[in-house]
Amino acid sequence: MLNPRKFVLKLMAILLIAAVLPFNVKQAKGQGGIVVEQPQVAVNFGQSITFQAKVTSPIPIQQISLLFREINEETTRVETLTVGADGFVSFTYDASLNLIPPFSWIVFWFQATLNDNQTYTSDPIRFQYKDDRFPWRDTSRANVNIHWYAGDDAFGAAALDAAGSGMLAINELVPISLNDPIDIYIYSNTTDLQNTLMLGGVDWAGGHANPEIGVVLVAIAPGASQGIEMQTKIPHELAHVMLYRSLGDTYANQPIWLLEGIASMVELYPNPDYARALEIASGDDSLIAFENLCASFPADAGNAFLAYAQSQSFVSYIRDSFGSSGLTRLTNSYSEGFGCELGATNALGTPLSQLDARWRENVLGQNTAGVALRNLLPFLLLLALVLMVPLWGTIDMLRQRRKNGNNST
Ligand SMILES: [Zn+2]
> What pLDDT, in 10s, does the model give residues 329-368?
999 999 999 999 999 999 999 999 999 999 999 999 988 6
Q: How far, in Å, from the CA of 362 to the mean position of ligand 1?
A: 25
Task: Count Cβ atoms within 10 A of the Cβ of residue 14 and give its class: 0-12 exposed, 13-18 middle, 19 or more buried.
Answer: exposed
Q: How far, in Å, from the CA of 297 to the mean position of ligand 1?
A: 11
Under 8 Å between Cβ of 245 and 211: yes
Instruction: Tell me if 343 is assigned to some domain.
Output: yes
Q: How far, in Å, from the CA of 317 to the mean position of ligand 1?
A: 18
Phi, psi torsion values for 182, nearest 5 degrees? -125, 130
Q: Between the CA of residue 398 and those of 285, 394, 395, 403, 404, what are the distances in Å?
A: 46, 6, 5, 9, 10
* Residue range(s) defining the domain that contains residue 260: 254-392
Higher pLDDT: 23 or 214? It is 214
Are 374 and 277 part of one and the same domain? yes
Are 324 and 273 part of one and the same domain? yes
Whole-number mean pLDDT of the chain?
86
Domain boundary among 252, 277, 302: 252
Q: How far, in Å, from the CA of 366 to the mean position of ligand 1?
A: 27
Q: What is the pLDDT of residue 409?
A: 37
pLDDT digits (tens, 9 = 90+) for 272-292: 999 999 999 999 999 999 999
Domain boundary among 226, 252, 278: 252
Q: What is the pLDDT of residue 372?
A: 62
Instruction: Tell me if 356 is assigned to some domain.
Output: yes
* CATH code of residue 69: 2.60.40.10
All residues at 6 or more sequence positions from 111 whose CB lies less than 8 Å from its CB, including other chains:
64, 65, 67, 119, 120, 121, 122
Are 314 and 232 part of one and the same domain? no
pLDDT for 387 beyond 90: no
Are 225 and 288 part of one and the same domain? no
Instruction: Tell me if 324 is assigned to some domain.
Output: yes
Are 240 and 283 part of one and the same domain? no
Domain boundary among 88, 104, 128: 128
Q: What is the pLDDT of residue 336?
A: 97
pLDDT digits (tens, 9 = 90+) for 246-266: 999 999 999 999 999 999 999
Q: How far, in Å, from the CA of 264 to the mean position of ligand 1?
A: 7
Are 41 and 111 part of one and the same domain? yes
384-394 average pLDDT score: 65
Q: How far, in Å, from the CA of 263 to the mean position of ligand 1?
A: 6
Q: What is the pLDDT of residue 18?
A: 37
Instruction: Tell me if 2 is assigned to some domain.
Output: no
Instruction: Tell me if 211 is assigned to some domain.
Output: yes
* CATH code of residue 144: 3.40.30.160
Are 258 and 365 part of one and the same domain? yes
CA torsion, ordered 192, 197, 198, 200, to nearest 10 deg: 130
Q: How far, in Å, from the CA of 98 to the mean position of ligand 1?
A: 21
Are 229 and 246 part of one and the same domain? yes
Q: What is the pLDDT of residue 27?
A: 38
Are 143 and 111 part of one and the same domain? no
Q: How far, in Å, from the CA of 280 to the mean position of ligand 1?
A: 23
Are 61 and 171 part of one and the same domain? no
Task: Count Cβ atoms within 10 A of the Cβ of residue 324 and give its class: 0-12 exposed, 13-18 middle, 19 or more buried.
Answer: exposed
Q: How far, in Å, from the CA of 240 to the mean position of ligand 1?
A: 7
Q: How confident is the model at residue 375 (pLDDT cuts 50, 70, 90)?
A: low
Strand partners, 54: 37, 88
Q: How far, in Å, from the CA of 120 to the mean position of ligand 1?
A: 45
Are 196 and 158 part of one and the same domain? yes
Instruction: Tell me if 162 is assigned to some domain.
Output: yes
Q: How far, in Å, from the CA of 261 to the mean position of ligand 1?
A: 8
pTM of the model: 0.77
Please count the structural domains in the chain: 3
Are 235 and 341 part of one and the same domain? no
Under 8 Å between Cβ of 55 and 141: no
Q: How far, in Å, from the CA of 235 to the mean position of ligand 1?
A: 10
The answer to which of 111-120, 198-207, 248-257 has the lowest mean pLDDT is: 198-207
Q: How far, in Å, from the CA of 206 to the mean position of ligand 1?
A: 9
Instruction: Tell me if 35 is assigned to some domain.
Output: yes
CA torsion, ordered 287, 293, 299, 302, to nearest 10 deg: 30
Instruction: Tell me if 405 is assigned to some domain.
Output: no
pLDDT digits (tens, 9 = 90+) for 134-162: 999 999 999 999 999 999 999 999 999 99
Q: How far, in Å, from the CA of 236 to the mean position of ligand 1?
A: 6
pLDDT digits (tens, 9 = 90+) for 19-75: 333 333 333 443 348 999 999 999 999 899 999 999 999 999 999 999 999 998 889
The total number of residues shown for the chain amounts to 409
